[in-house]
Amino acid sequence: MTATPTAAAPFTTVIGLEVHVQLQTRTKLFCGCATTFGAAPNTQVCPTCLGLPGSLPVMNRTAFELAVRAALALGCQIAPFTKWDRKNYFYPDLPKGYQISQFDLPFSSQGALEVVDPKGALTRNVRITRVHLEEDAGKSMHDETAGTGDTRIDLNRAGTPLCEIVSEPDLRSPQEARAWLNELKLLLVYLGVSDCNMQEGSLRVDANVNLHIPCDGGRIAKTPIVEIKNMNSFRSVERALVYESARQYEEWQATKAEMGKTPKQTRGWDDPAGVTRAQRHKEESSDYRYFPEPDLVPVTVSEEWLAATREAMGDPPSVLREALAATWKIPPYDADVLVNQGRELVAYFEDLAARVGEGKVASNWMQQDVLRTLNERGGSIDDFPVRPAAVADIIGRVAKGDFDTSRAREIFAEVLASGRTVDEVVASMGIAAVDDDELITLCRELLAANPRVVADVQGGKEQAAAGLIGQAKKKNPNVNPGKVRAMCLELIRQM
């Protein structure tokens, strides 16, 4: 797939993303402090994450394993030997005066994650430059109204394990960037690597963007690369990139400034204002004086270790979509919708589909009933009160002809609302299976009362029988419309 400039956008937007995700561990990367979100300030701190004199880091094994799991799922090469480095800079949310990160020997590199073009079925392979493991900084809070002018520092977050995922500049539109982030998030959540909760800061995105502008003579002008920060949702990422592309194009038209002549600029996204703003550039801040962290020892990853990690990992969403479509004979669209809702929902679906025996029927129920009501109610599928057995029960009764689908929906809604069993709801709604004698009597009454319909059918207009169904349901709400229709036609034929 090649993105070509269109009349609407006379340039190609070139985007690379840098994503930080907080790993789902119980404790921090280098100490035993908890990582619970929302704790009172400075209650999850110890000498190590406070950077007190003499304190030392010891690596959290789970953090490393989760990071490896993420890298494997992104198709990365895992380095047989990796080490950590100190990135030195002064900031009050960084109590040691350095961040323990990885510089020249990250534990993984050279992966890829495909993104489905949101406008069509085409996919784009977005290369991953590297994935590395590092510690987070604390939180600075500045309240100008407080009057003190001081910044308050909470170090609860300091030392939380982060996986940094850096993509190549392979994305070609803001929409594609957003779609790719959705896929990345889904993958990481599926694998239990991170909850990727952006509100809680467990997923943060910076974007590098510039434009490729075709000029006369086939030359491509490249605008200076801008790094955008402070985007707190995927929607913000898309909006910021849309804004920034337009801004760069405007600037290019005015200045014709091209890449390489100025240092990389950093701009912050101001969400309420819907604009990016230049951030102050400190020349000396980029001299991080990386050197090997002498308080940690390197990690070597054996083939056995990798094999075990792969084994325990489970399928990534892309594999699961295909597997779901093949196993349950559902369209790729259905598989996509189900998989995108997360692993728990897929488990629910598979349970339901196995009970129903018909993948497509189960999928329809998932999408039209379970998912819709789940979205209205909020919460997780695991807490959804109508379990697969009950839904399968309802579907089964429809198949048997006990009642029709619309009646079934009412039953589903009532089971959900009341928390009672399907049997109880069916009984309470007075739904009883209508036996054949009852049905024959009912249909005879209807035909006797509607000679016109009988005449029309006999005249070849079978569709006229549809008019009888509404009357039948009035007389007995439990009748199956299909059966009423079939019985009426049969009786007319016998006349």
Partner 1 sequence: MQPSDMSAVDLVTAVRHGDLTALRATEAFLERIERLDSQINAFLSVDREGALRTAAAIDEKRKAGQPLGPLAGLPVAVKDALCTFDQPTTCASKMLAGFRPPYDAEVVARLRAADAVIVGKTNMDEFAMGGSNENSAFGPVHNPWDLTRAPGGSSGGSAACVAADMAPVAIGSDTGGSIRQPAGLCGITGLKPTYGRVSRRGLVAFASSLDQIGPMARSAADCALLLETIAGHDPGDATSLESPVPPYGADLDGPLEGVRIGRVPAHFGAGLCPEVAHAVEEAFAAFRAAGATIIDIDMPHADAGVATYYLVAPCEASSNLARYDGAHYGHRAEPGGHRAEPGRLHPVEPGGHRAEPGKGSGASGGGFESALVEMYCRSRAEGFGPEVKRRIMLGTYALSAGYYDAYYAKALKVRRLIRQDYLDAFEKVDLIGGPVSATAAFKLGEKSGDPLAMYLVDLYTVCTNLAGVGGISFPCGFTKGGLPIGFQLQAPALAEPLLLRATDRYQHLTDWHRRRPAIAARPR
Partner 2 sequence: MSLSRNDVAKVGLLARLALSETDLDTMTRELSTIVGFVSQLEQIDTTDVAPLAHPLDTQNVFRADIPQPSLTTAQALQSAPRHDGECFLVPAVLGDSGAN
* Binding site residues, partner 1, CB under 8 A: 47, 50-59, 86, 88, 90, 92, 95-98, 151, 153, 155, 281-284, 287, 289-291, 294-297
- Choose the stretch contacting partner 2; rule: CB under 8 A; options: 242-250, 288-296, 369-377, 397-405: 288-296
Q: Strands 265-270 and 226-231: what pairing?
A: parallel
Is position 60 an interface residue for partner 2 (rule: CB under 8 A)? yes
CB-wise, 285 or 428, nearer to partner 2? 285
For residues 370 and 376, give the distance between their C-alpha atoms in angstroms, rounded to a whole number: 10
Contact 30, 135 (CB under 8 A): yes
Q: Which of partner 1, partner 2, none interacts with 51 (beta carbon under 5 to 8 A by kind)?
A: partner 1
Q: Which of partner 1, partner 2, none interacts with 96 (beta carbon under 5 to 8 A by kind)?
A: partner 1
CB-wise, 160 or 318, nearer to partner 2? 160
Q: How far is the CB of 90 from partner 2 (least distance, A)?
A: 5
Is position 62 an interface residue for partner 2 (rule: CB under 8 A)? yes
- Rounded to 5°, angle at Cα 241 from 239 and 245: 120
Q: What is the DSSP letter of 294?
A: T
Q: Which of partner 2, partner 1, none interacts with 185 (beta carbon under 5 to 8 A by kind)?
A: none
- Choose the stretch contacting partner 2; rule: CB under 8 A; options: 104-112, 149-157, 175-183, 418-426: 149-157
Task: Kindly tell me which residue out of 63, 320, 339, 464 binds partner 2, with binding defined by CB under 8 A.
Answer: 63
Nearest to residue 174, comparing CAs of 7, 9, 1?
9
Provide the 3-class DSSP secondary structure of residue 77: strand
Nearest to residue 384, comparing CAs of 370, 372, 369, 366?
370
CB-wise, 58 or 427, nearer to partner 2? 58
- Choose the stretch contacting partner 2; rule: CB under 8 A; options: 106-114, 132-140, 368-376, 462-470: 132-140
Classify residue 144 by burial, with Cβ atoms within 10 Å: 0-12, 13-18, 19+.
exposed
Classify residue 475 by burial, with Cβ atoms within 10 Å: 0-12, 13-18, 19+.
exposed
Q: Which of partner 2, partner 1, none interacts with 114 (beta carbon under 5 to 8 A by kind)?
A: none
Nearest to residue 465, comparing CAs of 477, 474, 452?
452
Nearest to residue 126, comparing CAs of 108, 110, 102, 105?
110
Token readout for 402 is 């006990």
Residue ranges binding partner 2 (CB under 8 A) = 20, 25-27, 31-34, 40-47, 50, 58-64, 89-94, 99, 101, 134-137, 139-142, 148-155, 162, 164, 204, 206, 229-230, 284, 287, 289, 291-292, 294, 296-300
